[in-house]
Amino acid sequence: MHFFPISGTCCLPLAYLLDCEIEFSCALGHRTVESVGENVVEVKAGDLVVPVVQRNCGECRDCKFKGNACTKFPAASLNAMPRDGSSRFLDKDGQPLHHFLFASSFAEYTVVDVTHLVKISPEVPVDKACLLSCGVTTGVGATMKAAQIEEGSTVAIFGLGTVGLAVAEGARIRGASKIIGIDKNLEKFEIAKKFGVTDFVNPTSCGKDSVSQVIREMTDGGADYCFECVGSTSLIREAFDGSRQGCGKTVILGADLHGSPLSIHPLEILAGKSIMGATLGGIKPKQDIPHLAQKYLKKELRLDGFITHEVSFEEINKAFDLLLQGKSLRCIIWMNR
């Protein structure tokens, strides 16, 4: 086990959505196979793999057809092995140590169910491969699977963290003509240009106009696609209001942990607007993550810009500080440095 990215964009919101509790103490984290158990034929020792929280068995109805909410096992706990609810970790006193989001990769060795592993090309550098485990895949995947952005479309992105910037990268790849980034942090704007963002809106500088009004003016009636990447019901509403009448699609990628209700008049839906959520961008991990890895190898998908810091495992607290201070996109933690 050599590396993993640290971020807080997707993990706890998923626990909220699944109505699960995170138990402590647990081995955190989101990647070479050391050994395999009985009946495991999909991967072998030495394979480069990406652990993912989103299960993908490839056998249940949901994996075979629409959606990506694998139903092979009940999502009863995010702190244990999915098949039997057991733990494979012990602390120094011999007491059980809980798993975390089925991956628990803040460790030199971990045990992961094969339904949570994706084998990818060994040509992908390990520090880039780990980016495909969560946030980057969520954003890029949402443009390709959930929204299915068409060439020439206009896109508005609320929140320019890793997920939001990954949406911009995906929109760029899909050929969007205008990509609007909305964020209060002005430092994000220069970074966002590298990922294809063409226009910027600072919500604190809109005067009497709402952000949705500004977006409608910039796009001649509303953006074709709006992405909410923060986790705020009020921003979801702004995104919906900023989408185009009759065909605008709003995609929710952030989770409001307060559970605030969202109110939308049914006539707005009847008129053609739509709103949807997308866990991990709506992708099927085993099918789509290898595809994204190939896009990186072909220099179509830019991953390097997401890595802003690298630290050793001994400096893990520094990585958490950078996250809490909003100073990093992805911080790579190396086990062997």
Each residue of 314-335: pLDDT tens digit?
Answer: 888 998 898 888 888 888 888 7
Maximum distance among all alpha carbons in the chain?
64
Mean of all residue pLDDT scores within the chain: 85
Share of the chain above pLDDT 70, in %: 88
Question: Which of 19-23, 130-134, 297-301 shows the lowest mean pLDDT across its residues?
Answer: 19-23
Helices and strands (H and E) in the chain: how many: 11, 13
Q: Looking at 26-35, 44-53, 206-215, which range is the least confident one?
A: 26-35
Q: Is the pLDDT of residue 61 over 50?
A: yes
pLDDT for 83 beyond 90: no
Q: pLDDT, tens digit, for every residue of 234-270? A: 999 999 999 999 999 999 999 888 888 999 999 999 9
What are the chain's domains? 24-135+282-334 (3.90.180.10), 148-277 (3.40.50.720)
Give the up-direction half-sphere exposure of residue 198: CA atoms within 13 A in the CB hemisphere: 14
Query: At 101, which amino acid appears?
Result: L
List C-alpha distances in Å: 330 to 9, 15, 66, 133, 313. Answer: 11, 21, 31, 12, 15
Long-range pairs, 173-176, Cβ under 8 A, ≥24: 173/140, 173/143, 173/144, 173/295, 173/300, 173/301, 174/143, 174/144, 174/149, 174/150, 175/149, 175/150, 175/151, 176/149, 176/151, 176/152, 176/225
The confidence score (pLDDT) of residue 2 equals 40
H or E element, residue 180: strand 178-182
pLDDT at 6 over 60: no
- The pLDDT, as a whole number, for residue 31 is 60
Can you tell me the mean pLDDT for 91-113?
Answer: 78
Residue range 154-170, pLDDT digits in tens: 999 999 999 999 999 99
- Looking at per-residue pLDDT, the higher value among 86 and 272 belongs to 272
Percent of residues, the chain, with pLDDT higher than 90: 50
Model pLDDT, residue 76: 59
Least confident window among 13-17, 81-85, 147-151, 189-193: 13-17
The residue that leads in pLDDT, 67 or 30, is: 67
Model confidence band, residue 32 (pLDDT cutoffs 50, 70, 90): low
Closest by CA position to 242, among listed 279, 192, 282, 199: 199
Q: CA 317 to CA 319: how far, in whole Å?
A: 5
Instruction: Give pTM, 2 decimals.
Output: 0.87
d(CA 104, CA 80): 10
> Among the ranges 18-27, 34-43, 274-283, which has the highest mean pLDDT value?
274-283
What was the pLDDT predicted at 30? Answer: 43
The model's confidence at residue 217, banded by pLDDT at 50, 70 and 90, is very high
pLDDT tens digits, 125-143: 988 988 998 889 999 999 9
Mean pLDDT of 78-94: 76
Structure tokens at 125: 């550098």
Lookup: tokens for 247: 């065909």
pLDDT above 60 (res 226): yes
